[in-house]
Chains A and B, each alone.
Chain A
Amino acid sequence: MNNGVNGDENMDNEENIIEIRNLKKSYDHGKIKALNGLNLDVKKGEFLSIMGPSGSGKSTLLNMIGALDVADEGTIQVAGIDLTKNKKLDEFRSKEIGFVFQMHNLIPNLTVLENVEIPMYETKLSTSQMRERALELLKSVNLEDRKDQIPTKLSGGERQRVAIARALVNHPSIILADEPTGSLDSKTGDKILKLLRNLHSKENVTLVMVTHEPYVGKMADRIVNVLDGKIQN
């Protein structure tokens, strides 16, 4: 295991999709240092696990990569876009990032299909094209027959599969998964991980996953450990 700067020998694509240099982020007027000069490179198409104890800064790091939050210092370049300078972060998220949360975060009054369509509102797709693409994704997570159900009628694993379909719908270059199995039992969790892994290779998408469970982390091509806002060697 290394800190990722030199990449992994298994990777056939040497291009970095994420480049983070000396990234700093503090909260509560500087009292809490979430990220403290962090450096990280992620290759295109890589499956990376970010591990570390609670409060180590791993979720903050994921939010920075996904442009949900902005850094105080340092540089962060994702999919060729400098997030410290770019102002159109919503557009970046729409095009490049797919999020999978610990809590599936589906919209309760919308059907499974409509939930998967949600990220496509910012694209130029027509309603029928949106529907077609969403159905395609639901098929790949084996939930085509549940498309008209509302999320509350689904099991935890099914909900997370819908969330994965939603994350992939805009053809993102990176999937960011924050404890994707955290709210599932281990058997269901395994299925979700396998699905993520399969889709990662099938869709040729970079997968960055935050977890604190070692056996989950081991599914990845590479694991980095975060402690006190830095990558541990």
Chain B
Amino acid sequence: MSYLKLILKNPFRNKTRGLLAIVGIAIGIMVIVALGMVTGGLKASTTSTLKAGAAEVSVMQTGAGNYGSGRINESRVTDLLNISGVKETAGMLRATNTSTSGSSTTDVSGTSAETGTASTGSSPGSFAGFSVTGMDPDKLSLAGIENIDGALYSNESANEVIIGKTASTNLDKSVGDTINLFGRDFTITGVYETGSFITDAGAFMSLSTLQNLTNNDNQVSNIAVKIDENANATQVGKAIETEYPNELSTTTAASMASRMNSALNTIDTANWAISLLAIIIGGVGVVNTMVMSVFERTREIGVLKAVGWKEKRILGMILGESVVLTLIAAVIGTVLAVIGVVIILSVYFGGTIEPSFAPDIFIRAFIVAFVVGIIGGLYPAYRASQLSPTEALRYE
């Protein structure tokens, strides 16, 4: 039997104790991996909102609370073109589908992005909360929509819509299907993907159609502004606010993303703090397990010394056993985290957030587990290696 096999065999001599130690560390590792996967997914989503081609500045009504809740006169869409640095503008109307009844043939079944209730069969109204944006189809690139599987909706037609990839998956709808929005049936002409979890969970249709449906004639909720190549987004935003004081407010895509990223960085810091806590708690558990194990095997360690084992071989064996425990815990914790995150994100968040499977998340978890194993095993291993052979052999 090899030395390695011996090390692998020893941690399970006392199965209950070994398992308890593993459970303790696995919980810590699970939290580290799960948080990493979720924050990683959110980060990827925010960076993809900063795509080339998309609008750099977003204009809304001053004082409007929610994104899309304010109203701006549509004439401002062309007015803003006069401001220096503005290259292109697009009026957008954001509305939330309030339809509570679907037509008998086109019931929307699936999950809503907000409630996440998975409904099978016909269940009209399960669809409320679905975000719909009205926009000129030629200007969709300003909303970050570049690639469409299928065709665009036409500006004239009142019955065409494109939906995001997440929405398509959740609603189980694809090109050619019919969808009921605001009490009217629409044909899905295309499916888009931007990478932003918010955008991909919604739908886009012609601005005038949505204005009609929601009684918002000549009104938009936002104006997407694309700036000249040499212009500065912050300055353009300021210029707009100066031109229309108390009417228009602006925010730049970069600042939005950076705000979101700083929030995510806070979560990241928390993740590190949790990792540290997991190291300490898990480490104490490992020390306890290994000290008990060495204590019970005092005589046996005496025998190993008597047959000529060197101190460093005994040290290595105990350290190895400790690392075996924590690495098994890392595997279990990682598997549980992946399963848990995938299920929670798809069931409770309707797949709007894609979990990240970046290798560094898993590498970090295994490094944490390894470090816990080494730190936790160090003291018991040292104690075992320093035992006096005669005293160890006398031990009852």
Contacts and interface: CB of A to CB of B under 8 A. Distances in A.
Interface of A: 63, 66, 68-69, 90-95, 97, 99, 101, 103, 105, 107-110, 113-114, 117-119, 121-122, 127, 130-131, 166, 170
For the complex of A and B, 8 pairs with smallest distance between CB atoms? A94-B308, A119-B307, A93-B308, A68-B389, A105-B303, A99-B306, A109-B13, A90-B310
Nearest to A126: B2
Q: Which of B9, B304, B306, B393 counts the most chain A CB atoms within 10 A?
A: B306
Contacts of A122: 308-310, 313
B69 to A, nearest CB: 68
Contacts of B241: none
A49 B130 CA distance: 93
Interface in B302-328: 302-311, 313
Nearest to B392: A68
A210 B184 CA distance: 100
A183 to B, nearest CB: 13
B390 A68 contact: yes
Contact of B390 (A63, A103, A119): A63
Contacts of A107: 300, 303
B311 A90 contact: yes
A127 B305 CA distance: 20
B240 to A, nearest CB: 76
B305 A91 contact: no
B309 A121 contact: yes
A63 B13 CA distance: 30
B310 to A, nearest CB: 5
B3 interface: yes
A103 B304 CA distance: 14
B308 A68 contact: no
A172 to B, nearest CB: 9
Q: Which of A91, A97, A105 counts the most chain B CB atoms within 10 A?
A: A105
30 contacts: A63-B389, A68-B305, A68-B389, A68-B390, A68-B393, A69-B390, A90-B305, A90-B311, A91-B308, A92-B308, A93-B305, A94-B308, A94-B309, A95-B308, A97-B308, A101-B303, A101-B393, A105-B300, A105-B393, A110-B6, A110-B9, A114-B1, A114-B6, A119-B307, A121-B6, A122-B309, A122-B310, A122-B313, A127-B2, A131-B1
B117 interface: no
A90 B309 contact: yes
Nearest to A117: B1
Contacts of B393: 68, 101, 105
Given A97-B306, A105-B393, 12 more contacts: A69-B390, A90-B310, A93-B306, A94-B308, A101-B303, A107-B303, A108-B13, A110-B1, A110-B9, A114-B1, A130-B1, A131-B1
